[in-house]
A and B are shown apart, each in its own frame.
Chain A
C-alpha cells in the first residue's frame, strides 16, 4: 500500500465496513482532537470504545474507558490510534495479539510509523496513516462541505437531511481519480526534504 496517498475507494471501503472501533488515546478533554473524533463517530453510529489507562473508571459519552486493547474482551473491527508516531509500535504489537485480529489499524492525523504499518499489513490488516476518520467520513459524505472544505466528491442525487446518529452515504463520485494527491504534497515534502 502506498501510504502517501490513498484511493477514496480504500478509505470508503474501511469506513463502510467497520462497526466496532477502539480508540487508543481517547481523551475526555473537550478540546482534544480525539474527543472531536470520538463524539462524531458515536453520532454517526459507530460502536466506540475509549482506551486510555489514565481514565479508567470514567466514561466518554456513556462508554466506559478501558486500560488496554486486551481488556476489551470482544472482537474489534478497527483500532484508531491517537498517539504520536513514536508510540504507535507498542499499540500495533498489542493489536496483533488479539484474536480475532482487528481488520484495520488507523493512525491519526500527524502519526505515521511505516515499520508498524508493514507489520500490520503482513498480518493481513489494512492500514491508514496520517488521516482522521472524522474528516474522511465528513469528506466522503460531503458533510464537511459545510465548512468550505473540498470533499473531492460530487453527486447529482438528493441526499437525506443528516440527523443525529444517522449513517450517511459515502458513495459519491470521487474527484481527482479517487486519490487524495492534492492533499498529500506536504506529507511527501516532509519525508523527502530537498
Chain B
C-alpha cells in the first residue's frame, strides 16, 4: 500500500499540531510560561545534555513555538526549523552558526533595505564581511567566492519587489563553492516558491509578513533543509563539526544528522544570543498560516489586477511586476512561481519623486507604513523610508530609486483598490 501524501493546504492546518495531550484542546494552546518542571534530576540532566526531547525554558524552546516550527518546516519541505523574535534575528542566528570573525558571505544586492543595513554595518562589528553580488548576474556570485566565503544569501522574490532570483543557478555556485545557500523566502511564502526544491540549504522568513499575514506579530524563522554536508566540510563550520565545550564536547552534526543546523541555531544561537519568540506571537502567526494558501493566492491575483491597471495608466512610467508578460522577470516567475508573482511590487511615476509623495498622501484605502504582507493594502516610498539610509547609487542598485513607489497589495476587493489608485492618481 502506498501512503497518500497530504497536500499543502492540509499541512498548513495540521502540520505540527495535534490535540493537546492533557486537555484535548484542538486549537494549539498558548503555553505562556517561562519554564517547565523536570520529572527528576536525571530528566533535568538529560534535557540540558540534549539527550532527551522536551522543554526546559522558553528562551530555548516552547511547545507553542514548536508547533509553528514544525508547521513551517513541513510547508518548506525542510527537516526542522527554529522560530525567533524577528526576521532580522533569524539572519543573525543563522549566520552566527556559519561565520567566524574575518569570514565572508556573499549577498545579492537587491535585498530588503533593513538587511542591507544589517549586513553592511551591524555585522561589521562581528567581523562578518558581506561581499555583494548582482542578483541578475550569476557570474558575479561566482566571482565573489573566496576561501573565506561561508555562505551565499539571496531573496527568492527580492524586496522592494519585482525581482525573481534564479535560485537554481545560484545554488550551483554555492554547491561548487562548498557553502550553504541561504534563501530568504519572505515575499513568496512557501505557497508560491519552495526554495529547498530548487537547491536552498537554509530558508529564512520574516514571519511578520505573509506567513503571519495579519500585520499583528513580529517573528522570524530559520528552516534547515537537511541537505548540506557538514561532515564533508572539514573544519570549515566548527559550530557544527567541532566538539562543543558548551555541551561537554558533543559534535552536533554527528548527533543530530540532517537537522543539526537547526539544533545549532537553537542550542548555540538562540540559547546564547537570546532573541526568543513570544508564544503568544507564535499562536497568532500559526492562526495566520492556516489560511496561507487562500490568502497568498488572493494577494497574488489582486496584485496582478492592480499591476495591469497601473501599467495602462498614463501617469505611470513603469511597473516592475514579474506577473506581467512584458516584465523582464516574467520567465523566471513562470518557472519558480507559477501560481502568481506575489503581492509586493514597485512602480514609478512620470512625475518623479514629487508625484510619488503626492500619490502616497492621496491614497485613502492603502495604508502608508513600513510593512508588507498584511491583509490590508500598504504603500510606501522606499527612498525616503525603508531604504533611506542607503546612498543614492545604492538605492538605485537596490531597486529603490527616488521615483519608485512600493505597494503590498492586500486581499480587499480589487475593484476598491483600483478605484483608490484612480482617485489618488487623478487628484
- Listed in ascending order, the chain A residues whose CB lies under 8 Å from chain B are 7-9, 30-31, 33, 35-36, 39-40, 109-110, 132, 135, 138, 142-152, 154-162, 164, 173-178, 182-183, 185-186, 189-190, 194
Q: Are A182 and B254 touching (Cβ within 8 A)?
A: no
Is B6 an interface residue when CB atoms closer than 8 A count as contact?
yes
With A175-B5, A182-B226 known to touch, is A148 a contact of B70 (CB < 8 Å)?
A: yes
B86 at the interface (CB under 8 A from A): no
B interface bracket (residues with beta carbon within 8 Å of A): 35 or more
Are B226 and A186 within 8 A (Cβ)?
yes
When the two chains form the complex, which single residue of A109, A135, A138 contacts B254, counting CB atoms closer than 8 Å?
Answer: A109
Do A143 and B53 have beta carbons less than 8 Å apart?
Answer: yes
Q: In the complex, which residue of chain A has the Cβ closest to the Cβ of B13?
A: A154
B81 at the interface (CB under 8 A from A): yes
Asked if A158 contacts B21 (CB within 8 A), the reply is yes
Asked if B82 is at the interface of the complex by the 8 Å CB criterion, the answer is yes
Query: Of B11, B43, B50, B229, which is within 8 A of A189 by CB?
Result: B229
In the complex, which residues of chain A have a beta carbon less than 8 angstroms from the beta carbon of B83?
A: 148
Which B33-75 residues sit within 8 Å CB-CB of chain A?
Answer: 39, 43, 46, 49-55, 61, 63, 65-67, 69-70, 73-74
CB-contact partner of A39 in B6, B46, B63, under 8 A: B46
CA A58 – CA B46 in complex, angstroms? 21
Q: Is the CB of A175 within 8 A of B6?
A: yes
Contact, CB under 8 Å: A186 / B258:
yes
B80–A190 CB distance below 8 A? no
16 A-B pairs in the complex with CB atoms less than 8 angstroms apart: A7-B3, A30-B49, A35-B51, A39-B51, A146-B61, A147-B61, A147-B259, A147-B263, A149-B73, A154-B6, A154-B11, A164-B39, A164-B43, A185-B227, A186-B226, A186-B258
Q: Is the CB of A160 within 8 A of B21?
A: yes
Picked from A110, A149, A155, the residue with its CB within 8 Å of the CB of B262 is: A149
Whether A33 and B258, one on each chain, are in contact in the complex, defined by CB atoms closer than 8 angstroms, is: no
B4 to chain A, nearest CB (A): 7
CB of B78 within 8 A of CB of A150, answer yes
Q: Considering the chains assembled together, what is the distance between the CA atoms of A7 and B2 in angstroms? A: 9
